[in-house]
Structure 1
């Protein structure tokens, strides 16, 4: 899935409905992408596959295509359109010392085929760091190294000319139809982020893998000095530059109780030694993530079949229980680190109001406003539960800070805008919702869409496919499933189609 979601403003959707398509269509096949090879496909051809977004989810599909399709047959024509100017993965949360939360063995290839040259192990070997990594005795590499691994994989497909960066997809509509009036291809329209011009490409199969849209609570939207955790790394760099000559201690508030919130709280505390940092959480305490072996089986790829086949009501209840393993929880090592730092403050003062850093528990932000000096005033309410278990606010207090970071999650509904033109092709009982089959393909009305064309959704199917849908854990297997679903009998057997890990980089 892509690290940042595509947001499609109304004016871009309006442009999509127009017939004016720029000369970029001709330029797209000839332009060089960040110093890599020009695109290998022509704007006039109908692609076999077009992927919207080039994050880990689409990258896993590209790798599965490389590994599983027979090398003796013609390669399918494939193109990936990505909004970002270059490959990046959670760039806003690349913090010093940040570690992965899953084993490196759950990379983009190993669970599907350990012999693939796109494994994390082969990446280490090709970079000359395998033995040194072994000496670390860890399954959890740094987040920076894992992003470098992903960039290393992406480079193979960039050099093949299969990736176009700086392309913000506006929408998808029917491209061609057969004699029966069924759609046989799709027309994808994108806007160049550098020139603003429109580009169209046609494809038989489309995959939408655009990631999540950062969510800032409505009461804080539009305020200066309020940013989402996904933009933390870039924002904090600008803050450091802006205040480098200031002698006044900064005041920060972090809203959220999950891993990102805890990491930002810790980073601000260390980055600005004289600052005041407050972490605002609704619960009574930060809670540890459960990564014990039995619980980790929730994220196993073979669990998806059972989850998808469950009764929807039972599945929703099971997902609600599973959410505690991934949402609003923090890795135990970080919790212990923070607790020790908070404890050390007690040596200097027993009064929490005099501490530089504090966790404000059982609090929620009731309102937010901008002061004349651009600081942010937060009105906090104490979170209580009445006899019926309904949450309500108790005592209130005001907190004024210079900057606010919200680690308040993501919405995964960008596909609804991108595919809005296709709602007329859905079954009459769909309520304009894009339902998906087990293979992640959108359920269309069979009288309106031919079986030779289809649309697949990635990273927005947690409600039907389980908690792992938005995570890295199943990408290798899922990428192979999509390749098989789209290309079917064109896939060779694993023994014929896969290549042994090479000592040279892809």
Structure 2
């Protein structure tokens, strides 16, 4: 915190693997909070009710399961059903979803253009109603869809078992869970077929909800600082095109979001295919802000008042700047004149200086005499004295080129007096 209340740094408190807390101070923060699993209202995961993200961690705890119930129609649900069907040959797997069948993912060439960087620019500048329309049009590229190869594989298994008369992979399409009872005696679910309302009770060992994920609200990680970040009318975080969060004026730190930007940047928010592009844009924005000079708050207020016409640049300060520029030009021109005289052979030791023994006159009182260039040694016969392009006080004396060879430049020390 500065004296006027501006926030220049953030203290980030992190918990390490051993439980100790570490505090790090930063001027810029990038939040990559990821996604969090979604369960239906009123459902809590336990040893029998899982979310699909817990599958691989909890599967080793099972002993001879007889039946699994998998809820969902997306890629995760289809993969869970296929994995359980292959990993437990003696168990029955019941897939329950409201669609009549799994929907294939739209990975066609034209549809995939929605993930291009140019499409992100178009989406960001589009009106809100256009953004919602585009998200609805192309939801089949990412949400509640399954790869066509996996759909064909599950159908092949289901059809083959149905022909053989031993159906382990059961498909409850156009259906929903009408009830879930989970007590000490076991887990019981009721599946309702939506077209007719017919209900089928099932006893299961595990109920797996493959009901997807939602982006984690990045502002929940900021504590009190989150109150200084702006939100859109719909509740989403207000982001710039460079994924920087819009904040109140007193918060001068840069806070960026990696992900959680579908409402402003489109469907690429949750996809790995565009992660590298987003990282590059964030890095470029961060670098640009670091290069920009950071003025103290008082200077910012002065510049703002000047831009509004309330203040004018001080004439004394402007005159001082011009005077310093004139002095620099005078020093450079003096060195150039001395070098030209030397090349013409007109160099005179002590030229431009008062004669010895000359007394200062009345006109010399209070005069600021310009510093004269240092004496330059006379060239030896056969030497070529050249001036560097940048007008430096040092001179390079070039010896004549050797026959068949190249000229070698040597730096000669400045002659000393006395």
Length-normalised TM-score, structure 2? 0.65
**Within the alignment, does 1:185 sit opposite 2:14 as a pair?**
no
Alignment match, 1:363: 175
| Inter-partner Cα distance in structure 1 for 2:224 and 2:199 | 47
Could you tell me whether the CA contact under 8 Å between 1:284 and 1:362 is conserved in 2?
yes
Alignment match, 1:382: 193
**Given the superposition, is the C-alpha separation of residues 426 and 263 from structure 1 closer, same or farther in structure 2, using an over 3 Å criterion?**
closer
**Given the superposition, is the C-alpha separation of residues 431 and 473 from structure 1 closer, same or farther in structure 2, using an over 3 Å criterion?**
closer
Could you tell me whether the CA contact under 8 Å between 1:219 and 1:368 is conserved in 2?
no
| Inter-partner Cα distance in structure 1 for 2:198 and 2:46 | 25
Could you tell me whether the CA contact under 8 Å between 1:223 and 1:370 is conserved in 2?
no
CA deviation map 1:205-243 (0-9, x unaligned): 11110210111223331443111111222222332xxx1
| Inter-partner Cα distance in structure 2 for 1:440 and 1:372 | 49
**Within the alignment, does 1:468 sit opposite 2:279 as a pair?**
no
| Inter-partner Cα distance in structure 1 for 2:235 and 2:109 | 40
**How many angstroms does 1:490 deviate by?**
6.8
Alignment match, 1:237: 60
Query: Secondary structure, in 3 states, of the residue corresponding to 2:136?
Result: helix
Could you tell me whether the CA contact under 8 Å between 2:230 and 2:237 is conserved in 1?
no
CA deviation map 1:460-499 (0-9, x unaligned): 11111111111111111111100011112779xxxxxxxx
| Inter-partner Cα distance in structure 2 for 1:219 and 1:417 | 23
**How many angstroms does 1:254 deviate by?**
0.8
**How many angstroms does 1:302 deviate by?**
2.2
Could you tell me whether the CA contact under 8 Å between 2:232 and 2:238 is conserved in 1?
no
Alignment match, 2:38: 215
Greater CA radius of gyration, 1 or 2?
A: 2
Query: Secondary structure, in 3 states, of the residue corresponding to 1:257?
Result: coil
CA deviation map 1:107-133 (0-9, x unaligned): xxxxxxxxxxxxxxxxxxxxxxxxxxx
| Inter-partner Cα distance in structure 2 for 1:400 and 1:209 | 40
| Inter-partner Cα distance in structure 1 for 2:163 and 2:235 | 60
**Within the alignment, does 1:455 sit opposite 2:255 as a pair?**
yes
Alignment match, 1:439: 242
| Inter-partner Cα distance in structure 2 for 1:339 and 1:359 | 9
**How many angstroms does 1:366 deviate by?**
3.1
Alignment match, 2:227: 424
| Inter-partner Cα distance in structure 2 for 1:296 and 1:432 | 28
Structure 2 counterparts to residues 57-456 of structure 1, below 5 A? 177-195=1-19, 197-239=20-62, 243=63, 246=64, 250-349=66-165, 355-373=167-185, 375-383=186-194, 394-427=197-230, 434-446=237-249, 448-450=250-252, 453-456=253-256
Where do 5+ consecutive residues of structure 1 fail to align?
1-176, 385-392, 492-506
Where do 5+ consecutive residues of structure 2 fail to align?
292-418
**How many angstroms does 1:296 deviate by?**
1.1
Alignment match, 1:34: none
Query: Secondary structure, in 3 states, of the residue corresponding to 2:90?
Result: coil
Could you tell me whether the CA contact under 8 Å between 1:300 and 1:473 is conserved in 2?
no
Could you tell me whether the CA contact under 8 Å between 2:135 and 2:266 is conserved in 1?
yes
Alignment match, 1:75: none
| Inter-partner Cα distance in structure 1 for 2:231 and 2:154 | 53
Could you tell me whether the CA contact under 8 Å between 2:230 and 2:245 is conserved in 1?
no
**How many angstroms does 1:256 deviate by?**
0.7
**How many angstroms does 1:439 deviate by?**
0.9
Aligned residues: 291
**How many angstroms does 1:433 deviate by?**
5.2
| Inter-partner Cα distance in structure 2 for 1:489 and 1:371 | 58
**Given the superposition, is the C-alpha separation of residues 219 and 394 from structure 1 closer, same or farther in structure 2, using an over 3 Å criterion?**
farther
**How many angstroms does 1:193 deviate by?**
4.2
| Inter-partner Cα distance in structure 1 for 2:268 and 2:229 | 26
**How many angstroms does 1:370 deviate by?**
0.9
| Inter-partner Cα distance in structure 2 for 1:356 and 1:480 | 48
Alignment match, 1:143: none
| Inter-partner Cα distance in structure 2 for 1:480 and 1:355 | 51
**How many angstroms does 1:428 deviate by?**
9.1
**Given the superposition, is the C-alpha separation of residues 262 and 437 from structure 1 closer, same or farther in structure 2, using an over 3 Å criterion?**
same
**Within the alignment, does 1:479 sit opposite 2:290 as a pair?**
no
| Inter-partner Cα distance in structure 2 for 1:371 and 1:489 | 58
Could you tell me whether the CA contact under 8 Å between 2:48 and 2:187 is conserved in 1?
yes
| Inter-partner Cα distance in structure 2 for 1:432 and 1:357 | 42
Could you tell me whether the CA contact under 8 Å between 1:426 and 1:443 is conserved in 2?
yes
Could you tell me whether the CA contact under 8 Å between 2:258 and 2:278 is conserved in 1?
no
